[in-house]
Amino acid sequence: MKSIYFRNFIATAVMIGLCLLLVAGSIFSIGRGVVVEDYMRNMKNSATEVAHYAYAVAEEGTMDNWMLSMMLSSVAKATGNHVFLADSDGIVVVCCDDIPFCEHLGVVIPSSVKEAVQESGFYEGIITLTGVFDYERYAVAVPITGEERDNAVGFVVVSARMDSIFSSWRTFLIAMLVVLVIVFVAILAFAFAYSKRMAKPLDEIAEASRSFARGDFSVRVRQNTDSSDEVGTLIDSFNKMADSLENAEKRRSEFISNVSHELRTPMTTISGFADGILDGTIPKSEEEKYLRSIRDETRRLSRLVRNMLDISRTASTASDPTRRTDFDLTELVLQTLLSFENRATGKNLDVDPQLPENRLMVHADKDGITQVIYNLLDNAVKFARPGSCITLRLYKENQKAFFSVKDEGETIPPDDLPYIFDRFHKSDRSRSMDKEGVGLGLYLVKTIINSHDEDIAVKSADGVTEFVFSLPLSET
């Protein structure tokens, strides 16, 4: 199975290869034209210089003398080209070859060359020069004239083998191909190493995921890259998810342990008392008393199961957007507060409701928020010191509604605060908060608030504990 870094490497190699081929093709196409153009220009310059010298010699005598032959030989050796002179009739009269009796002398150049020079003053092209050469050559021809450029006394023809022109070009081309190959290999090596490095965090994430599947949530991916880039963000998010899964697994284990404990206690009591009645250990006179205990434990067991089901149902209904409506939070707080009037009076508690005079409309699940307010007020009444004050505050800030419940009583230990909303957390205050004594009240509160995409916070210091949650305001 191909790994992602290998696929990325192949894609990079193909892309780089295509780019280098495009560059090589462009260099070949453009460079070849430049080489030919430059070589032809040098040939034309050589022909022009020879024509000037030949004209000067012709004015003093004839062109078929040994000085012109030596000069053409020198030019041919210096440039690597073949040079000869033809008279006005196109007959070769002087050649650069060192042979005493050159085979080219007396040969007539093609009429197309002579006509082109006579008409335009210049000729260039690929010709065979029948009778002079047996293969095609690049040739340049210019007239031998004076400054007036008329009355040409002959022609200078400079030619070169085609492979001579491209010999330097081939050398350059080979060097270029070698460089391109080296660059290609170097880039591939870098791309392979970089792809491997980029895929390494993904391999570690995959390995960590397999560990999660085996139940080991302690594995974390090392952050070796910039945490601000996509891979770094992915690693950071994955590690946070791992933390969340590990905490969830711990809470699940604790939940199972706590539920087992909560169920075991009443079931043990019920079983023990029932066995005592059946085997006669408990006297007949005491049976009614123990039957009442069995009844109470059965009811407590029923309440525990019912409350756990209520949490699941309430969390599901609270997260349903179709159940959310606009209602006055101020009125809901007052209505809920009335149900605690007798209990607050029994403990001689003062209640300070700091509520707005006008309506404060919010958009939420009314039944769920009623349960939240009831649980928080029940918690405050239970733990408030007799004769103290409970402060309720409702206010609006940053386009949200905030509700605060503050009581004066025992301070919650700082170590307990981060876990105060967990199910069955081992804190007397959080466990006792639930009115049935099973420690699910604050967990239910946080579940309902979080289902509205809002949050609840708690702080406790110097005997004062405050719970604050937020709700979205109504848009109307």
Instruction: Give strand pairing partners of 139.
Output: 125, 159
As a whole number of angstroms, the distance between CA 429 and CA 433 comes to 6
Contact between 158 and 175 under an 8 Å Cβ cutoff? The reply is no
pLDDT given at position 429:
44
The first and second tokens of residue 431, run together, are: 């466990």
Residues 6 or more apart in contact with residue 475 via CB below 8 angstroms: 363
Query: What residues does CATH 1.10.287.130 cover in the chain?
Result: 230-316
CA dihedral 291, 296, 298, 299 (to 10 degrees): 140
Structure tokens at 456: 């609840």
Residue 326: per-residue pLDDT: 93
Q: Looking at this protein, which amino acid is placed at residue 240? A: K
Q: Which CATH class is domain 320-472?
A: alpha beta
Please give the biggest Cα pair distance in the chain. Answer: 162
* Alpha helix positions (H), 161-218: 162-213
SS3 letters across 260-303: HHHHHHHHHHHHHHHHHHHHCCCCHHHHHHHHHHHHHHHHHHHH
- Give every CB contact of residue 79 below 8 A, 6+ residues apart in sequence: 42, 43, 46, 158
User: What's residue 287's pLDDT?
Assistant: 82
Q: Within the chain, which residue ranges are assigned CATH 3.30.450.20?
A: 4-167
Q: Which option is the CATH number for 230-316: 3.90.180.10, 2.60.120.10, 1.10.3720.10, 1.10.287.130?
A: 1.10.287.130
pLDDT score at 166: 66
Crossing angle of helices 4-60/162-213, nearest 10°? 170
Could you list the beta-strand ranges (E) of 100-162. Answer: 123-127, 137-143, 154-161
**Helical residues (DSSP H) of 97-136, grouped into ranges:** 111-120
Residues 32 and 367: their CA atoms lie apart, in Å, by: 85
Q: What is the pLDDT of residue 430?
A: 42
- Is the distance from CB of 398 to CB of 467 less than 8 angstroms? no
Phi, psi (deg, nearest 5) at residue 420: -65, -25
Contacting residues for 170 by C-beta, under 8 A, at least 6 apart: none
Mean pLDDT per block of 10 residues along the chain (476 residues) reads 64 80 78 74 84 80 72 82 84 76 77 82 77 74 76 83 70 79 83 74 78 78 69 79 78 70 75 84 84 83 73 67 88 90 89 91 90 91 92 91 93 85 58 47 86 90 93 85
Residues of the chain with CATH 3.30.565.10: 320-472
Pairing of strands 400-408, 389-397: antiparallel
Look up residue 304 and give its two tokens: 């525990």
pLDDT (0 to 100) of residue 396: 92
Torsion of CA 305, 307, 311, 312, to 10 degrees: 30
Considering the domain delimited by 4-167, tell me its CATH architecture.
Answer: 2-Layer Sandwich (3.30)
